[in-house]
Structure 1
Amino acid sequence: MIVALLNQKGGTGKTTLALYLAGEWAQRGHRVTLIDADPQGSALDWSEQRVREHLPRRFGVVGLARDTLHREAPELARNVDHIVIDGPPRVAGLMRSALLAADLVLIPVQPSPLDGWASAEMLSLVNEARIYRPELVARFVLNRCAARTVLARETAEALADHDPPVLSATVGQRIAFAAAAQTGRLVSEIDNAAAAAREIGALTDQIAGIGAGKSSP
C-alpha cells in the first residue's frame, strides 16, 4: 500500500503523521519505507538524528523530491509492505506525481476554517489525478486538534459532508510529538500507553481498514 500525506498548505502536520504512520506499521512487524518528497527534508533530518542518538532503524527513509515519484515509488514498493510519502507544500509537479503514485491520499487539516478553505486546491488536484487513477482513495485527517473543542467538532461536521470524507480517528495537539522528535524517537518508544501513541494506533487501524477494503473484490 502506498499512502501519501499531502496538503498544499504548510504546517498541517504532514511530516509528523507520515513518520508516525510508518513507525506504527514498523512496530507491528511490517516492512516500511518512508519517502521524503518535501524539499525541506524534515523526515530525513529526523532519521539522521536517530542515527546520532544510536537508535535502531525502524524503517527506511529515502529522499525523493522529484516529479518522477509516480514511477519510482511503485518500484520501491516491491520490496516492502507499505510506502509512506511525506509530500511537499505547493510544488505542483511533485504533488501531481505523488498523487499518481498513491493508493490512498491523506489530507491533514487542523480544526480551522482557514485549513478547510486552503484544501480546495488540493481537492482539485485529487480530482485531476482520478482521471488517470479512478481507484485513488482520499480522506481528510483532523490533526493537531483538541477533540472536545467546539471548533474541532464543527470542522469534523463540515468535512463529514465532503468528498473525500474525514476519518473518525483524530490526532491531538500534543507536546509529546515534538519532545520525542528532538531525539529521533517516536512517542511509543518512550511511553506506549501515552494518549499520543493510542491516537496513532487508532489512525493506523482505520487506514488498514481502508486498505483491506481496497483489496477486497
Structure 2
Amino acid sequence: MIISFLNQKGGVGKTTLSVNVAGCLARQGHRVLLIDADKQGSASTWASLREDAPFQVVSMARANMARDALKLAQDYTHTIIDGPPHAEEIARSCIVASDFVALPIEPSGLSTWASDLTVRQVKEAQEFKPTIKCGFVVSRKIGKTVIGRDIRNMAGEAGLPILESEIEQRVAFAEGMTMGQTIFEWAGDSNAAREIEHLTKEIERYVEEDVFSGSEAKAAHG
C-alpha cells in the first residue's frame, strides 16, 4: 500500500501527517518506508534528529521518482510519500506511484484552491491507472470554527471524497516534530494521537475495501 500526501500549497501539514501516519503504521507492526519527495527535506530533517526511527526514511525528490519508489516499496508493507509544494512534475510522479492520494486542506480557501492542480493530476492519472484512490483530509483545523465547517462544502465542489477524519491544529504536533518524535512517542495518550489513528485506519479501510468508487463514495461523504 502506497499512500502519498500532496497539495501544491505549503504549510498544510503534509510532513506532519506523513511522519505520524508512518509512525502509526509502524506501531501496528508493519514494515514502513517514508519517502521524502520534497526538496525542502523536512521529513529527512526530522529523521536526522534521532539515532533511529520506527520506519525507514529516504529522500527522493526528483521528477522521475515513481519507478524507483515502486521498486523500494516492494520491501515494505506500507510506503508513505511526503509530497512537495510547487513542483508539478514531482507531484505527478508521486501520484503515479500511489494507491491512495491524500490531499490535506486547511480551513482556508487558499489550500483548497491550491489543490485544484493536484486534483486534475489525479484525475489524469486515473485515466490510465483507475485503481488510484484520492480523498481530501481536513488538516490544521481550529476547533469548531465556522470556516472549519465550511471547508467541507468548498472541497466538495471538487467532486472528490472528503475523509471523515479531521486533524486539528495542536501544539503537540509541532512539539513532537521539533523533537524528532512521532506523536505517539511525544504524546501517546492525546487527542492528537487519536486523530492520527483514526485517519490511518480510515485510509487503510478505504483502500482495502474500495469504497471510493462511484455513487457509494458520494453517498458516504455527501
User: What is the TM-score normalised by the length of structure 1?
Assistant: 0.93
Matched, 1:122 2:115: no
Q: Distance in 2 between matches of 1:30 and 1:189?
A: 17
Which residue in 1 is equivalent to 2:27? 27
Q: Distance in 2 between matches of 1:90 and 1:140?
A: 18
Q: Distance in 1 between matches of 2:120 and 2:62?
A: 21
Matched, 1:174 2:167: no
Which residue in 2 is equivalent to 1:88? 84
Matched, 1:66 2:78: no
Unaligned runs of 5+ in 2: 212-222
SS of structure 1 residue aligned to 2:140 = coil
Trace 1:6-25 onto structure 2 (pairs within 5 A): 6-25=6-25
The alpha-carbon deviation at position 24 of structure 1 amounts to 0.4
Q: Distance in 2 between matches of 1:9 and 1:206?
A: 24
List, as ranges, runs of 4+ consecutive aligned residues in structure 1 with deviation greater than 2 Å.
157-163
The alpha-carbon deviation at position 8 of structure 1 amounts to 0.7
The alpha-carbon deviation at position 164 of structure 1 amounts to 1.3
Q: Distance in 1 between matches of 2:47 and 2:165?
A: 26
Residue by residue over 1:16-53, the C-alpha shift from the partner in whole angstroms, topping out at 9 and shown as x without a partner, is 100011000001111100000000001000000012xx
2:97 to 84, 87, 101: 101
2:199 to 185, 203, 207: 203
- The residue type equivalent to 1:145 in the other structure is K
Unaligned runs of 5+ in 1: none
1:187 to 183, 190, 195: 183
Q: Distance in 2 between matches of 1:154 and 1:67?
A: 34
CA RMSD of aligned residues (A): 1.4
SS of structure 2 residue aligned to 1:130 = helix
Which residue in 2 is equivalent to 1:46? 46
Q: Distance in 2 between matches of 1:100 and 1:157?
A: 28
Q: How many residues align?
A: 211
The alpha-carbon deviation at position 104 of structure 1 amounts to 0.4
Which residue in 2 is equivalent to 1:145? 141
Q: Is the 8 A contact 2:172 2:186 kept in 1?
A: no
SS of structure 2 residue aligned to 1:61 = strand
Identical pairs, percent: 40
- The residue type equivalent to 1:157 in the other structure is N
Q: Is the 8 A contact 2:172 2:187 kept in 1?
A: no
User: What is the TM-score normalised by the length of structure 2?
Assistant: 0.91
SS of structure 2 residue aligned to 1:168 = strand
SS of structure 2 residue aligned to 1:22 = helix
Which residue in 1 is equivalent to 2:37? 37
